[in-house]
Amino acid sequence: MIPRYSPKDMAALFSDEARFGAMLEVELLAAEALSQLGIVPVADAAACRTRAPEIDAAFVADVDAREAITNHDTAAFVDIVQDRIGAPEGTWIHYGLTSSDVVDTALCWQLAKAADLLIEASTEFVAVLVRRARELIDVPVVGRTHGMHAEPTTFGAKMALFALAAERDRERLVRARAAIAVGKLSGAVGTYSNIDPSVEDFVCEALGLTPVPATQVIARDRHAELLWAIAATGATIEHLATEVRHMARSEVGEVEEAFAPGQKGSSAMPHKRNPILSERLCGLARVLRGYLGAGLEDVALWHERDISHSSVERVVLPDACLLALYVLRKATGLVDGLVINDERALRNLNEGSLGLVYSQSVLLTLIDHGMTRDDAYRIVQRAARSAVESREQFRGIVEADAEVTLSVAELDRAFDLDRMLTHRHRYLTALEGITV
């Protein structure tokens, strides 16, 4: 991932130093487990831990140099670790293990930590959406269907629905973390032919992982599940960002992205305040979805193992986690700083819609007074068309229609914004089960 979209705390989890550090810990724990079985001398296992190399840039460079000879990165890693620890103790490193035992378990350990960062960021995203929903539940705005004015809603209702979607995403991330927080040290095809199952139990317990049956590799549907949770999170954020982009258009003007002192909206037009963050989030959501496709294609491996997934995962898994964290944090800032132009929203609702947002209320009121639905619909539809063509307020045209015999009080009720939004706090009730 390019530095622009790489949060430092997530990037640290996927550095070469972190990867080799995780692999080394698996190797050391395995040696310690074998010492409990009497296979590795206790003193030798202790020496491996004591003399374990520092995983730094020099270590990484040595592994890279060794890989140029072995053409096998894990074998190169084992060679360098054994050399740094020294013989005879170092020869116990990787005893009874296959590459995937170490690589897969270490990767799942890294991904579980990455999921923790994503869940934390997701929790913050949900929290800001819930807060804004509560702040804005009484602020009306026109609801739109097919991009057209429909009926009134509130900004808080919109935020509440996004909060509920984000909470579902958080739950998916939690489930995906449980699915990926697993390990295996069961040998070449997963039969424990040269390694006792208790070694797997010991290592996984120490790392906070769950031991699982496997072939030579851990099943890749687990990794795909994490990528699905990430892609779904991106889709929710894209939905939110798309809404902001539409509502920020000049002719709508109901919201604005926060605009910092000294910020420039356009290099050529000083008046511009473009929704650039929302546009960026929409674009990056596309990338997150692309990672899911690659992850799903990694599920079908040949027999007990091939490495067609390996090259894909070296790119996709770190980049997906990095980008997901970036997107979550930026979306949180977008919602937190979103400027609500409530006066413009109310003007769009009343004057801009010509009052047409109350058409269903008029329809139902006419039906309540004994008119057939079809007759009432024809009258209201005709009045609405007249309002659009003449650019006159819908209510005045309804009042002037000879077929409409409603009283002023009845029309007042039909055109009553507060009445239409009476149940808006039901959205907040739906948020009560969310813990943030």
The H-or-E segment that residue 144 falls in is strand 140-145
Cβ distance 324 to 233 under 8 Å? Answer: yes
- Strand 148-154 and strand 140-145: the pairing is antiparallel
Catalytic residue among 6, 35, 100, 146: 146
Long-range CB contacts for residues 390-399, cutoff 8 Å, separation at least 24: 391/354, 392/354, 393/354, 393/355, 394/354, 394/355, 394/356, 394/358, 394/359, 395/355, 395/358, 398/362
Q: Collapsing DSSP states into helix, strand and coil, what is residue 72?
A: coil
146 is catalytic: yes
Among residues 140, 138, 139, 137, the alpha carbon closest in space to that of 129 is found at 137
Cβ distance 41 to 35 under 8 Å? Answer: yes
- Strand 182-183 and strand 210-211: the pairing is parallel
Cβ distance 242 to 165 under 8 Å? Answer: no
Distance of alpha carbon 6 from alpha carbon 66, whole angstroms: 29
Those residues whose C-beta lies under 8 Å from the C-beta of residue 364, and which sit 6 or more positions away, are: 414
- Strand 339-340 and strand 255-256: the pairing is antiparallel
193 is catalytic: no
- Core vs surface per residue 238-247: b (16+ CB within 10 A) or e: bebbbbbbeb
Q: How many CB atoms lie within 10 A of CB 426?
A: 11
**Tokens at 20, concatenated:** 């080799």
The H-or-E segment that residue 245 falls in is helix 221-247
Catalytic residue among 94, 223, 239, 266: 266
Question: Strand ranges (DSSP E) for 112-180?
Answer: 140-145, 148-154
What crossing angle do the helices spanning 42-50 and 16-36 adopt, rounded to 10°?
160
Distances (CA, A) of 157 to 145, 247, 344, 360, 397: 15, 15, 18, 20, 31
- Kindly state the DSSP code that residue 357 receives in the 8-state scheme: G
Q: Which residues are catalytic?
A: 146, 266
